[in-house]
Amino acid sequence: MMTGLAPELGRRKQAAWGAYKSIEDVVKKTKNTRLRVHLFNTTVLPALTYASETWALHKQDENAVSVIERSIERVMLGLTRLTQVTAGIRSSTLRQQSKIRDAAVYAKSSKIRLAGHVMRPNAYRWTRAISDWTPRHVKRTKGRPPTRWSDFITKSFKERYDALRVWNGQNALDYPDT
Protein backbone atom coordinates (compact mmCIF):
# COMPACT_ATOMS: atom_id res chain seq x y z
CA MET A 1 0.00 0.00 0.00
CA MET A 2 1.35 3.38 -1.00
CA THR A 3 0.91 6.36 1.27
CA GLY A 4 0.71 10.00 0.25
CA LEU A 5 4.27 10.42 1.47
CA ALA A 6 5.80 8.01 -1.09
CA PRO A 7 6.61 10.65 -3.77
CA GLU A 8 8.18 12.90 -1.14
CA LEU A 9 10.28 10.00 0.18
CA GLY A 10 11.48 9.38 -3.37
CA ARG A 11 12.62 13.00 -3.61
CA ARG A 12 14.28 12.78 -0.19
CA LYS A 13 16.10 9.61 -1.29
CA GLN A 14 17.51 11.40 -4.34
CA ALA A 15 18.53 14.38 -2.22
CA ALA A 16 20.22 12.15 0.37
CA TRP A 17 22.20 10.29 -2.28
CA GLY A 18 23.16 13.60 -3.90
CA ALA A 19 24.37 14.89 -0.54
CA TYR A 20 26.35 11.69 0.01
CA LYS A 21 27.95 11.96 -3.44
CA SER A 22 29.20 15.44 -2.52
CA ILE A 23 31.13 14.05 0.48
CA GLU A 24 31.93 10.60 -0.92
CA ASP A 25 35.59 11.30 -1.73
CA VAL A 26 36.33 12.54 1.78
CA VAL A 27 34.44 9.66 3.40
CA LYS A 28 36.26 7.05 1.29
CA LYS A 29 39.71 8.53 1.98
CA THR A 30 39.43 9.09 5.71
CA LYS A 31 39.38 6.42 8.39
CA ASN A 32 38.43 8.90 11.12
CA THR A 33 35.01 7.71 12.32
CA ARG A 34 34.15 10.99 14.03
CA LEU A 35 34.73 12.93 10.80
CA ARG A 36 32.61 10.46 8.83
CA VAL A 37 29.80 10.68 11.37
CA HIS A 38 29.98 14.47 11.42
CA LEU A 39 29.85 14.68 7.62
CA PHE A 40 26.92 12.27 7.45
CA ASN A 41 24.96 14.00 10.22
CA THR A 42 25.49 17.48 8.76
CA THR A 43 24.90 16.75 5.05
CA VAL A 44 23.05 13.50 4.36
CA LEU A 45 20.73 13.42 7.38
CA PRO A 46 19.28 16.94 6.83
CA ALA A 47 18.81 16.18 3.12
CA LEU A 48 16.99 12.94 3.96
CA THR A 49 14.76 14.45 6.63
CA TYR A 50 14.13 17.86 5.04
CA ALA A 51 10.61 19.06 5.96
CA SER A 52 10.03 15.92 8.05
CA GLU A 53 8.49 18.16 10.70
CA THR A 54 5.32 18.30 8.61
CA TRP A 55 5.13 14.61 7.67
CA ALA A 56 2.45 12.36 9.12
CA LEU A 57 4.78 9.38 9.47
CA HIS A 58 3.30 5.91 9.28
CA LYS A 59 5.25 2.82 10.29
CA GLN A 60 5.98 1.95 6.65
CA ASP A 61 7.28 5.48 6.04
CA GLU A 62 9.61 5.17 9.03
CA ASN A 63 10.83 1.86 7.60
CA ALA A 64 11.38 3.48 4.19
CA VAL A 65 13.48 6.25 5.76
CA SER A 66 15.49 3.64 7.68
CA VAL A 67 16.07 1.58 4.51
CA ILE A 68 17.37 4.63 2.66
CA GLU A 69 19.65 5.51 5.55
CA ARG A 70 20.98 1.95 5.87
CA SER A 71 21.77 1.75 2.15
CA ILE A 72 23.86 4.94 2.34
CA GLU A 73 25.43 3.67 5.56
CA ARG A 74 26.49 0.41 3.86
CA VAL A 75 28.11 2.31 0.99
CA MET A 76 29.85 4.54 3.51
CA LEU A 77 31.29 1.45 5.23
CA GLY A 78 32.25 -0.19 1.93
CA LEU A 79 29.71 -3.03 2.08
CA THR A 80 26.99 -4.25 -0.22
CA ARG A 81 23.71 -5.80 0.84
CA LEU A 82 24.90 -9.17 -0.47
CA THR A 83 28.14 -9.14 1.53
CA GLN A 84 26.24 -8.02 4.62
CA VAL A 85 23.78 -10.91 4.34
CA THR A 86 26.39 -13.55 3.49
CA ALA A 87 28.62 -12.43 6.37
CA GLY A 88 25.63 -12.47 8.72
CA ILE A 89 26.12 -8.86 9.82
CA ARG A 90 23.00 -7.31 11.34
CA SER A 91 22.02 -3.73 10.59
CA SER A 92 22.21 -2.91 14.30
CA THR A 93 25.86 -4.01 14.27
CA LEU A 94 26.53 -1.70 11.31
CA ARG A 95 24.83 1.15 13.17
CA GLN A 96 27.08 0.59 16.20
CA GLN A 97 30.11 0.48 13.93
CA SER A 98 29.25 3.64 11.98
CA LYS A 99 27.82 5.59 14.98
CA ILE A 100 25.51 7.73 12.83
CA ARG A 101 22.19 9.13 14.08
CA ASP A 102 18.99 7.27 13.31
CA ALA A 103 17.01 9.21 10.69
CA ALA A 104 13.58 8.10 11.96
CA VAL A 105 14.40 9.24 15.49
CA TYR A 106 15.81 12.50 14.10
CA ALA A 107 12.59 13.09 12.13
CA LYS A 108 10.46 12.45 15.22
CA SER A 109 12.53 14.78 17.39
CA SER A 110 12.31 17.52 14.76
CA LYS A 111 8.51 17.13 14.76
CA ILE A 112 8.43 17.56 18.52
CA ARG A 113 10.74 20.57 18.24
CA LEU A 114 8.40 22.18 15.69
CA ALA A 115 5.40 21.42 17.91
CA GLY A 116 7.09 23.40 20.67
CA HIS A 117 7.45 26.37 18.34
CA VAL A 118 3.88 26.11 17.05
CA MET A 119 2.30 25.82 20.49
CA ARG A 120 3.96 28.92 21.93
CA PRO A 121 1.34 31.12 23.61
CA ASN A 122 0.41 33.49 20.82
CA ALA A 123 -3.08 32.98 19.42
CA TYR A 124 -2.47 35.30 16.45
CA ARG A 125 0.35 33.34 14.82
CA TRP A 126 -0.56 31.76 11.50
CA THR A 127 1.12 28.44 12.38
CA ARG A 128 -1.16 28.01 15.38
CA ALA A 129 -4.25 29.02 13.39
CA ILE A 130 -3.46 26.55 10.59
CA SER A 131 -2.77 23.63 12.93
CA ASP A 132 -6.04 24.23 14.82
CA TRP A 133 -8.15 24.84 11.68
CA THR A 134 -10.77 22.34 10.53
CA PRO A 135 -12.57 22.91 7.23
CA ARG A 136 -16.31 23.51 7.58
CA HIS A 137 -17.67 22.43 4.22
CA VAL A 138 -15.62 19.28 3.66
CA LYS A 139 -17.31 15.94 4.23
CA ARG A 140 -15.15 13.24 5.80
CA THR A 141 -14.38 10.27 3.56
CA LYS A 142 -15.34 6.69 4.36
CA GLY A 143 -13.04 4.42 6.30
CA ARG A 144 -10.33 5.03 8.80
CA PRO A 145 -9.43 8.68 9.35
CA PRO A 146 -6.02 9.62 7.96
CA THR A 147 -3.15 10.04 10.37
CA ARG A 148 -2.68 13.69 11.16
CA TRP A 149 0.40 15.57 12.23
CA SER A 150 -1.20 16.39 15.58
CA ASP A 151 -1.92 12.70 16.25
CA PHE A 152 1.81 11.98 16.39
CA ILE A 153 2.40 14.88 18.78
CA THR A 154 -0.43 13.79 21.08
CA LYS A 155 0.79 10.18 21.11
CA SER A 156 4.38 11.22 21.71
CA PHE A 157 3.53 13.46 24.65
CA LYS A 158 1.27 10.78 26.12
CA GLU A 159 4.09 8.21 25.95
CA ARG A 160 6.49 10.63 27.62
CA TYR A 161 3.98 11.48 30.33
CA ASP A 162 3.22 7.80 31.01
CA ALA A 163 6.93 6.98 31.17
CA LEU A 164 7.47 9.84 33.61
CA ARG A 165 4.54 8.67 35.76
CA VAL A 166 5.90 5.11 35.87
CA TRP A 167 9.37 6.36 36.72
CA ASN A 168 8.03 8.55 39.54
CA GLY A 169 5.97 5.64 40.86
CA GLN A 170 9.01 3.34 40.95
CA ASN A 171 11.08 6.10 42.47
CA ALA A 172 8.52 6.55 45.27
CA LEU A 173 8.53 2.81 45.97
CA ASP A 174 12.32 2.69 46.15
CA TYR A 175 12.59 5.53 48.66
CA PRO A 176 9.82 5.43 51.30
CA ASP A 177 9.23 8.54 53.40
CA THR A 178 9.68 6.73 56.72
Which pLDDT belongs to residue 10? 94
The helix (H) or strand (E) run that includes residue 145 is: none
Structural domain tally of the chain?
Answer: 1
Whether residue 80 is contained in a domain is answered as yes
Instruction: Give pLDDT tens digits for 68-88.
Output: 999 999 999 888 999 999 999
DSSP state for residue 57 in the 8-state scheme: -
Query: Is the per-residue pLDDT at 41 higher than 80?
Result: yes
Instruction: Give pLDDT tens digits for 110-155.
Output: 888 887 777 776 667 776 666 666 677 777 778 877 777 777 778 8
Whether residue 137 is contained in a domain is answered as no
Whether residue 13 is contained in a domain is answered as yes
Structural domain that includes position 110: 1-132+144-178
Which pLDDT belongs to residue 18? 96
Whether residue 40 is contained in a domain is answered as yes
Q: Give me the chain's average pLDDT, please.
A: 83
Whether residue 76 is contained in a domain is answered as yes
Q: Is 18 helix (H, G, I), strand (E, B) or coil?
A: helix
Rg over alpha carbons for the chain, rounded to the nearest Å, is: 21
Whether residue 89 is contained in a domain is answered as yes
Identify which has the larger pLDDT, 161 or 46.
46
